[in-house]
A and B are shown apart, each in its own frame.
Chain A
Amino acid sequence: MFAYIIRRVLYAIPILIGVNLLTFALFFVVNSPEDMARMHLGEKRVTEQAIEKWKQNRGYDKPLLYNVQAEGVQVLTDTIFFTKSVRLFVLDFGSADDGRNIGQDILQRMWPSLAIAIPVFIVGLLVNITFALLLAFFRATYIDIWGVIGCVILMSISTLFYIIGGQYLIGKTLQLVPISGYDFGLNSFKFLVLPVLVGIIGGIGAGTRWYRTIFLEEINRDYVRTARAKGLSELRVLFRHVLKNAMIPILTGAVVVIPLLFMGSLLTESFFAIPGLGAYTIEAIQAQDFAIVRAMVFLGSVMYIVGLVLTDISYTLVDPRIRLN
């Protein structure tokens, strides 16, 4: 198992290199730092000095890949590629346009993101599985048919409307909780209720339908028929047999997203003014702060790969037949 994990991590390296090259190409080759400077400073009437200063401030005044003027190892290290892209591998994200350290910011802002994402994930999973089991129990009846139609209807509503609707109904009309904002410590609770609720409700449609298909796939297997033939009640069949065996497909979908949780939700955080990583990313996109976007892209793919490894490991936990070697 340990050897397997090591191998997976080694396998991740070329992928991360690929991600790195891709972002490097997107940010520095497609558009030169000069172009970026021009856009930031306001296109046409920009002096050369202003551009040079802009580039120097951000460390973009170096050659892209190969520095002819430098000596020794510096030929390769004193370049944009090395300072901006390779340094990402040691999680050195550099500094943002306003001079703040991106790594520091990320460490600080991940907590509000987690405070929303974890409850949404856990409660959402439980709610979805419960509804899905309910639909599977009543399969091929009107409850099931209308349940599925209900899911499709819920799925057809944009996340934006869940958030706006929630804010309007609960925050403004009923005035139960503040519309947006954030506070640290226990005070944060009243700010977190609404985003978490909206997150859960927004996920019910797709989630329930997805788990229902998984359950229905299991329900038609031979072992279920055997269990029923033994005279087990339908409830017992569902919980003892179907649910346990459906854990593998459920885990495939669920575990992958766990590491990504800390990246936060772009929309929720920005609408509710929660100072998490999602809002951080959106602010960076809107301010066209390329350094932060680059850092988040890299971080996101690292998390995705961690998620894949975790998924594999979790398989061995729920299914003794699977051995990793």
Chain B
Amino acid sequence: MRAMIQLHRQFWFWPLLLIAGLWLALLALPPLAGVKAVYLDTDKLIFLLVSGVLLLAGYIRSREHLRGPWQHIFRQRRAMIALVVLLFFIVCGLLDSVHFRKPLPSQGVTQQRYSVKVLSLLDILLDDMRRNVEKTYSAPLATHLFAKETVTLENGDVERRYVRLKYGGRDLTDPASQKWPNIRDLATRGVVVGAIIWLVLSAGLTAIFARRQRQPVAVMAKRVYRGDTDIPWRSIYLSLLLMLILLAVLLTLSTEYHVLGTDKVGQDVLYQSIKSIRTGLVIGTLTTLVMLPFAIVLGVMAGYFRSWVDDVIQYLYTTLSSIPGVLLIAAAILSIQVYIANHPALFETALDRADLRLLALCVILGITSWTTLCRLLRGETLKLREMEYIQAATALGVGQFTILGRHVLPNVMHIVLIIVVLDFSSLVLAEAVLSYIGVGVDPSTLSWGNMINGARLELARDPVVWWSLVAAFCLMFSLVLAANLFADAVRDAFDPRLREQG
């Protein structure tokens, strides 16, 4: 009985409860909602990763010495603001990773059929944007198409003029005079909604922290207001407010307008750039997930066992790193393309095919990028194995693999973490470049690289179609910048050599 009561004190208790809840929801909710769940390979890996991160977070919380560096990070204002921004991206990516197929209207007695179109939760949230497809280009917040079109009038005359959009500002009778007041009204509504959500959220959070620190809520709120807290809550709340207002304004405006215009086939650019978040995140995170086991096992083994093991592993990574990365990726992706082209039967939907290519890209990027980490881990292990505590363990007759697992591995994990966080942003950037070259994600996958690629030639038009590029730039830039700033904080906190200088 006592053991039962103590159970919730174990570090894995709450994370496991959360993970179990998450998986149960993923398995049970789609049938309840009457849709057919679709679990793509990348979806599975993403939720595996989320579960892993939750468990790890629980473990770190329970260990004093592991908590230290993280507390150092949480006290830095810049890192926390970056984290708030990153959180918004992560939530978008996660919502976009829950896929399902909607039921088709049933025709009589036959069994329930499902639409071939795979949607995600994010699609449901952005339903307006997804469906309001115009004919072709339209500028941000426009009410008319971007270029003049030849229209046949009722009396048979032919005229060239700007055609009204189907959805952009559709309720306006006189766009010229009503558009801006209408936009102002919508934006104001967005600001108010955003502020209300923020108020509820921040009040709730403050109340929780007040309870935890056993202080009256008013005192806690005053401390936050004055910036008198260890963790820079004031900055966190402020950035949260800004992000929420931005999001709410974008969403309210997009019910009646195309906030960032439409592209060549009339798709909403804002929708495309938000959907691209998942692609970027998948490439940034799954790549490291794929490469980590190899890099850690091989790197630590090379450093610890020396002799022929070291030679073989060194040969392996020198060979791989001697091939220019882009070319190796290109070669591998070309091979995959041939494979996909010759085995059309393997894939049920186009999304399956695109997903395989995305996963393949992650694996290949992982293969080209594990060498750096492997080399670093080898070097660190070489240093560690000469340390006295490891020699003591050897002298005491501790098994070699136990030494590796208990004494070496925990002491190189900070390098792993630093590299993982640092690699993230360069991987997101790499995706765009690779997609541009034509060896990135599938052309049907929405990604920033594909958006740039599609929009690039339109710069030559006059007047310029700039919005696709600007949208891709803004989202990619904010994700990468936030990731870079956060990564810097992580490196400062975990790399003792650098912290001394700070």
Chain A contacts to B: CB under 8 angstroms: 14-15, 18-19, 22-23, 26-27, 30-31, 35-36, 38-39, 43, 152-153, 155-161, 164, 167-168, 172, 213, 216-217, 220, 260, 263, 266-267, 270, 281-282, 285-286, 288, 290, 293-294, 296-297, 300-301, 304-305
Given contact pairs A153-B481, A161-B473, A19 touches B338 in the complex (Cβ within 8 A): no
A160 and B342 form a contact (CB under 8 A) = no
Extra inter-chain contacts (5) besides given A18-B315, A39-B337, A285-B334, CB under 8 Å: A27-B335, A172-B459, A220-B500, A266-B437, A300-B322
B452 and A300 form a contact (CB under 8 A) = no
Given contact pairs A14-B315, A31-B338, A39-B342, A158 touches B429 in the complex (Cβ within 8 A): yes
Min CB–CB distance B55 → chain A (angstroms):
31
Contact of A156 among B324, B334, B459, B480 (CB under 8 A): B480
> What 10 pairs between A and B have smallest CB-CB spacing?
A18-B319, A300-B324, A156-B481, A301-B322, A156-B480, A31-B338, A304-B322, A285-B330, A297-B327, A39-B341
Given contact pairs A153-B481, A297-B328, A30 touches B339 in the complex (Cβ within 8 A): yes
**14 residue pairs from A and B, CB less than 8 Å apart:** A23-B331, A26-B331, A35-B339, A39-B341, A152-B481, A152-B484, A157-B473, A158-B480, A164-B452, A267-B437, A281-B330, A286-B437, A294-B331, A300-B323
Contact of A159 among B331, B332, B342, B433 (CB under 8 A): B433
Give the docked Cα–Cα distance between A156 and B328 (Å). 24
Confirm or deny: B439 has a beta carbon within 8 angstroms of a beta carbon on chain A. Answer: yes
Contact of A35 among B328, B338, B425, B429 (CB under 8 A): B338
A281 and B322 form a contact (CB under 8 A) = no
Give the docked Cα–Cα distance between A158 and B478 (Å). 11
Instruction: Please name all residues of chain B whose beta carbon is closer than 8 Å to the beta carbon of A263 when the two chains form the complex.
Output: 324
Given contact pairs A155-B484, A304-B324, A285 touches B437 in the complex (Cβ within 8 A): yes
Confirm or deny: B436 has a beta carbon within 8 angstroms of a beta carbon on chain A. Answer: yes
Instruction: Please name all residues of chain A whose beta carbon is closer than 8 Å to the beta carbon of B332 when the two chains form the complex.
Output: 26
B319 and A19 form a contact (CB under 8 A) = yes
Instruction: Please name all residues of chain B whose beta carbon is closer than 8 Å to the beta carbon of A15 when the two chains form the complex.
Output: 315, 318-319, 322
Min CB–CB distance A85 → chain B (angstroms):
13
Give the docked Cα–Cα distance between A266 and B456 (Å). 16
Give the docked Cα–Cα distance between A304 and B342 (Å). 34
Confirm or deny: B79 has a beta carbon within 8 angstroms of a beta carbon on chain A. Answer: no
Give the docked Cα–Cα distance between A297 and B320 (Å). 11
Contact of B438 among A159, A267, A286, A294 (CB under 8 A): A286
Confirm or deny: B86 has a beta carbon within 8 angstroms of a beta carbon on chain A. Answer: no
Give the docked Cα–Cα distance between A270 and B481 (Å). 26
Min CB–CB distance B148 → chain A (angstroms):
22
Given contact pairs A36-B338, A266-B326, A285 touches B436 in the complex (Cβ within 8 A): no
